[in-house]
C-alpha cells in the first residue's frame, strides 16, 4: 500500500527563530494518517534535526550530486544527509526555470539520492502554454523519462513523484480535482507500462500547486492523489494541520 504524504516546502522563507517555532509546533501535532516531511532552508536543517521530537521528517530543497571538490557555494548529498536530511526535492520548476537545471543534472541528482539511501521527491509539471496547447501529458512524460525512468523497478520504488503544474505554483490557481486526477492517473499508467502494475501501485504521487486547506480534501479524495507538496500554506501551522486532516 502506497504512503500518504504531506510535505511542506518552505522555500527561501523564515528567520531562524520563526523556523524553529514553526517546526516545534509541527512536532506537537497529533499523529495523522499521512507521513509529514518538511523542507526548510538548508541552513536550518541541522538545528531542526537537533530539536526534532516526533516523526516529522526533514528534507533539503537542493544539493549538488558530486561527492566533493571545487564547487564553491554548493553542498553535497552526503553533507546534507549528515546534518539530518532523509529526503530531497529534485526537479522543482523553480530549479528548472530559474537555475537552468537540465534533465542530465536531475538524473544525476536522483542517482546520488539513491546511492546515499535518501528519498528523492521528483517534481514534474507543465507551464501554461503547454496546458493551453493540450500537450501536458507528453510534456510531463518527457520530464519523467529524462530524469526518472532510467531507474530499475526496485530503484523506482524508493522514489516519490510530485506533479506540480507550473501555472498553479504560487499563483492562487489550482488544477481542478479532475485535472489533477487525470495527470496522476496517466503518470501511474506510464509506470505500469514500463515497470508493471504492482510497482505502479506502490509509488506515491503527490499534488502541488496552490494546494491549501480549502481544496486539499477534494484533491486528496482523488484515487491517484496520495498527498501534497505544499508551498505557502506550509508556513502556517494551522493551515498545514488542516491539510493533514484532509488526507
Q: How many helices (H) and strands (E) does the chain have?
A: 12, 8
Report the distance separating Cα 202 and Cα 195, nearest Å. 11
β-pairing, 87-90 vs 205-208, is: unpaired
Catalytic member of 164, 181, 184, 241: 164
**Helix/strand/coil percentages in the chain, nearest 5:** 45, 15, 40
**One of 57, 92, 116, 184 is an active-site residue; which one?**
92
CA dist 197 and 193 (Å) reads 8
Please report, for residues 5, 140, 164, 207, the alpha-carbon distance to residue 33 in angstroms, rounded to integers and kept in the order given.
8, 29, 22, 17
Sort 208 into a burial class: Cβ within 10 Å, 0-12 / 13-18 / 19+: buried
Give the Cβ contact number of residue 133 at 10 Å: 10
**3-class secondary-structure state, position 163:** strand
Burial state string for 15-34 with b = 16 or more CB within 10 A and e = fewer than 16? eeeebbebbbebbeeeeeeb
162 has which bridge partners?
123, 206
- 164 annotated active-site: yes
Q: What amino acid positions are annotated as catalytic residues?
A: 92, 164
Amino acid at each position: 500500500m502506497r504512503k500518504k504524504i504531506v510535505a511542506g516546502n518552505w522555500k527561501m522563507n523564515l528567520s531562524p527563530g520563526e523556523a524553529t517555532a514553526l517546526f516545534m509546533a509541527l512536532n506537537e501535532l497529533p499523529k495523522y494518517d499521512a507521513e509529514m516531511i518538511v523542507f526548510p532552508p538548508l541552513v536550518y536543517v541541522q538545528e531542526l534535526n537537533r530539536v526534532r521530537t516526533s516523526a516529522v521528517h526533514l528534507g533539503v530543497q537542493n544539493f549538488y550530486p558530486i561527492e566533493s571538490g571545487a564547487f564553491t557555494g554548493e553542498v553535497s548529498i552526503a553533507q546534507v544527509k549528515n546534518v539530518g536530511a532523509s529526503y530531497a526535492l529534485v526537479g522543482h520548476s523553480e530549479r528548472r526555470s530559474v537555475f537552468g537545471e537540465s534533465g542530465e543534472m536531475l538524473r544525476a541528482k536522483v542517482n546520488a539520492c539513491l546511492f546515499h539511501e535518501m528519498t528523492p521527491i521528483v517534481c514534474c509539471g507543465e507551464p501554461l502554454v503547454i496546458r493551453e496547447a493540450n500537450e501536458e501529458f507528453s510534456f510531463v512524460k518527457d520530464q519523467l523519462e529524462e530524469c526518472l525512468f532510467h531507474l530499475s523497478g526496485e530503484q523506482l520504488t524508493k522514489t516519490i513523484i510530485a506533479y506540480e503544474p507550473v501555472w498553479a505554483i504560487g499563483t492562487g490557481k489550482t488544477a481542478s480535482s479532475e485535472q489533477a486526477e487525470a495527470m496522476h492517473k496517466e503518470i501511474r499508467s506510464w509506470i505500469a507500462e514500463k515497470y508493471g502494475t504492482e510497482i505502479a501501485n506502490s509509488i506515491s504521487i503527490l499534488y502541488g500547486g496552490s494546494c491549501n486547506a480549502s481544496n486539499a480534501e477534494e484533491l486528496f479524495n482523488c484515487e491517484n492523489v496520495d498527498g501534497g507538496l505544499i508551498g505557502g500554506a506550509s508556513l502556517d501551522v494551522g493551515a498545514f494541520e488542516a491539510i493533514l486532516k484532509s488526507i
